[in-house]
Amino acid sequence: MDRGTSKVLNDVSIDIRDQEILGIVGESGSGKSMFAASLLDSIVKPGVTRGEITYNPSDSEPVDVLSMSDRELKEYRWEEVSMVFQGALSSFNPTMDIRGHFLETLDAHGYSRVEGMEKGRELLSDLYLDPERVLDSYPHELSGGMKQRALIALSLLLEPNVLVMDEPTAALDLLMQQSIISLLQNLQEKYELTIVFITHDLPLVAGLADRLVVMYAFQFVEVGPSQEILRDASHPYARSLLRAVPNMDIPIDQMNPIEGASPDPVNVPAGCSYHPRCPLADETCKLEEPKREPIGGDREVACYHWEESAEAIPYDIEEM
């Protein structure tokens, strides 16, 4: 950038397990979408991905995604790892009916139209849509929820092993959000999918995900089983995020927004990046960056004072 280098992912590391649903949560601008795009090596220029992204197929040797040729990437994307991008409701070409999108995808990857469309109809039915009605429709003729479900069906058309979803329910009402979550659970079980679900809504994804990753300032600050983090998060930011969940029964002046703002990616604070907003921060936090360390069971946290966070930042999960 004109004013410096923007490091929108900073030394993140995670093993995504076969057939798990992994939730990635954090504020807008925390790096969630960049993490999603990096899994497919599709960071938009002038962005550059450095490090290692290893895909482990069940039937062959591990693959280094960043060293793939264009042809290999074409096969990897859609056929192995597929993605539903943010802003999915505007992802369809308005001049093409939904059938055309399905056929275009099959043709681009050399798949049989007959077998592929049969699979497409099955997927649309799995998502409680009338296949022929949807396939014959143009995008503007479908509701937001129908378009979202049609896009999920399209993303699964080539039977990938991994589905990456970037804020797939952000533009939908609460009822449709819950419906999509329920349908995803059914799809994951039927097709034995691994799902990476990216959202800013921690309580929403906690009911879906097996594990949660909490992101702050382009880093993973807490990782663990979703229900454990929901009940008793350890990182001060994760607790503050849960405490800030809006509640319609509470007056506005009793809400608990997180004070301050997320850091500028060109000028991330030294030490712990959360320290300017953290009630537990001390001189060590300002000077030394905490590493993610195991804290028991399947949980990890990057915080010097995680054992004090429950007392300092209380929240009641029953009120969410």
Residues linked to residue 162 through DSSP beta bridges, in sequence order: 81, 194
193 and 311 assigned to the same domain: no
In a domain, 21, yes or no: no
What beta strand segments (E) does the chain contain?
A: 21-25, 54-55, 63-64, 81-84, 162-166, 194-199, 211-216, 219-225, 293-296, 299-301
Q: How far is CA 234 from the centre of its chain?
A: 21
**Count of CA atoms in the C-beta half-sphere (13 A) of 67:** 7
216, part of any domain:
no
157-193 per-position pLDDT tens digit: 999 999 999 988 877 888 888 888 999 999 999 999 9
| Residue 266 resides in a domain | yes
214 sits in the region (left: phi over 0; alpha: psi -120 to 50; else beta) called beta
59 and 147 inside one domain = yes
**For residue 102, what pLDDT is reported?**
97
1-60 pLDDT per residue, tens: 788 888 889 889 999 999 999 999 988 889 999 999 999 999 888 888 999 999 998 888
Domain span at residue 315 reads: 227-319
Looking at the structure, tell me whether residues 62 and 151 fall in a common domain. yes
- Mean pLDDT to the nearest integer, 265-270: 89
Residue 253: per-residue pLDDT: 66
For the chain, the domain total comes to: 2
Is there a single domain that holds both residue 157 and residue 237?
A: no
Q: Are residues 130 and 188 in the same domain?
A: yes
pTM over 0.75: yes
125 within a domain of the structure (yes/no): yes
Residue 250's pLDDT is 67
Do 129 and 177 fall within a single domain? Answer: yes
130 and 274 part of one domain: no
Residues 182 and 279 in one domain: no
Is there a single domain that holds both residue 193 and residue 246?
Answer: no
Residues 175 and 171: their CA atoms lie apart, in Å, by: 12
Tell me: do 58 and 170 sit in the same domain.
yes
Residue 221 covered by a domain:
no
pLDDT in tens, 190-230: 999 999 999 988 888 888 999 999 999 999 999 999 999 99
**Same-domain status, 269 and 175:** no
pLDDT digits (tens, 9 = 90+) for 108-166: 999 999 999 999 999 999 999 999 999 999 999 999 889 999 999 999 999 999 999 99
Categorize the per-residue pLDDT at 92 as very low, low, confident or very high, splitting at 50, 70 and 90: very high
Q: Which of the listed residues 151, 181, 199 is the one where a domain comes to its end? A: 199
Same-domain pairing of 239 and 309: yes
Residue 256, CA distances (Å) to 78, 251, 252, 313 in order: 41, 11, 9, 10
**Tokens (6 digits) for 260:** 């301050």
Half-sphere exposure of 71 (CA within 13 A, CB side): 1
